Chain A
Amino acid sequence: MSIFEYNGSAVVAMVGKNCFAIASDRRLGVQLQTVATDFQRVFKIHGKLYLGLSGLATDAQTLYQRLVFKHKLYQLREERDMKPETFASLVSALLYEKRFGPYFCQPIIAGLGEDNEPFICTMDCIGAKELAKDFVVSGTASESLYGACESMYKPNMEPEELFETISQALLSSVDRDCLSGWGGYVLVVTPTEVQERVLKGRMD
């Protein structure tokens, strides 16, 4: 079994019109046994920047704590929030530092830039950035997610439609993956508000 499949995870982010959505599943497992059904994989960095971490859960939590620590120092020094592109470079550098003994996480970064332009990107576990204009996926359900997003995605969706699309893509993909699922958690961020929703999914 691969280290990535130890806990099981599914995270996806999509770009809409002046908004973005980031979603994850809620299962935490120890190989084939489910241990929690409300595990948090999407973390807030600041009001308009969110980080989704798939892979080994302990590394996801440690990485999140280190990144929040660095961002808080940045806020104290610069007296402002970090831009999403800058944050992506920070995560990439942090992961590449551990090139020969990596964190087993695949981060997804999603944020709104200065002019409320949505930004999403993903990386492999050693920090190779992949910027996308439409959607990014990671986790054990990533192959199904690629297929679902590729067919369901449309450019310039409004927040309501974006929510429906990302939820359907997530739920249909995790249903094809034993290690992820048990509900979903979706966050849609627009320039004026943040909508968090918990989805009802198959609990198997």
Chain B
Amino acid sequence: MVGSMDVPAKGGFSFDLCRRNDMLEKKGLKVPGFRKTGTTIVGLVFADGVVLGADTRATEGPIVADKNCEKIHYMAPNIYCCGAGTAADTEAVTDMVSSQLQLHRYATSRESRVVTALTLLKTHLFSYQGHVSAALVLGGVDCTGPHLHTVYPHGSVDTLPFATMGSGSLAAMSVFESKYKEGLTRDEGIELVCGAIRAGIFNDLGSGSNVDVCVITKGKTEYLRNHELPNPRTYASSKGFSFVQGHTEVLSTKITPLKPKPEVTVGDAMEE
């Protein structure tokens, strides 16, 4: 720990393990896969605002790592963002832009605009040339009206009345293309979004579990976590496993009591 000590980083990525990792790769050790969010994410614009939807399965290769993860990320009180791709990238990039938007709100004393979030996201993703693998559906309502955008990992954006991303996007888009029309009501919008996500859940192997929905209108945002649960767990035994106490063979035991933190009583103030 001489020379370059653990100096507090100024932020951003650090590449100091890259040389070692390349050497390991040349020796034949394969790099592990990252957790992806297989995913079906959708968004649509209705009469009064925007509805976003997402499934809740996180995969690690063919294994389901999380059966109920959150893919609709908070950006601002009036802006939410669904993320597909590498889970760490979508979380990190949405957290970072959310903080930047908050600082911007403090500086300007105004509600954040969707295009601000959009520009921050696309400039970040473009500068990393697609290596930050985050595909996003960004939606919100600001003073200029409701907006819905898609952001691709390489930094390109699209502005659309309805959008789908992720491995289940084709299944979801088929539902949108057949049933979407302008001027939907709130309930029709939610029903259509749920239908699209369900199509992704049941037809795409990378998406599954439950449906999360977020409805954003002027002045009000409703995050309906687990709005639909079309995949209940049916195989649990009602009794469950019960192991007899002392069943496991133990070689040694060590019990350490946890001391409660001593209370510091406030003494009298020093007399001047």
Contact = CB atoms under 8 A, between A and B. Distances in A.
Interface of A: 1-4, 6, 47-48, 66, 69-70, 92, 95-104, 123-130, 132, 142-143, 146, 151-152, 154, 160-161, 163-165, 167-168, 171, 183, 189, 191-200
Nearest to A137: B65
Band of interface residues on B: 35 or more
A99 B88 CA distance: 9
Interface string B34-73: 1100000000000000000000001010010110010000
Secondary structure class of chain A's binding surface, majority of residues = mixed
Nearest to A195: B255
Given A129-B91, A199-B249, 15 more contacts: A1-B28, A2-B31, A2-B32, A99-B92, A100-B131, A123-B88, A124-B87, A128-B34, A128-B35, A128-B86, A151-B241, A165-B243, A189-B258, A193-B256, A200-B249
Contacts, number: 144
Interface in B145-195: none
A127 B255 contact: no
Interface of B: 6, 9, 12-21, 24, 28-32, 34-35, 58, 60, 63, 65-66, 69, 86-89, 91-92, 131-132, 240-245, 247-258
A100 B21 CA distance: 10
B13 A164 contact: no
A192 B258 contact: yes
Nearest to A1: B29
A163 B253 CA distance: 12
Nearest to B239: A154
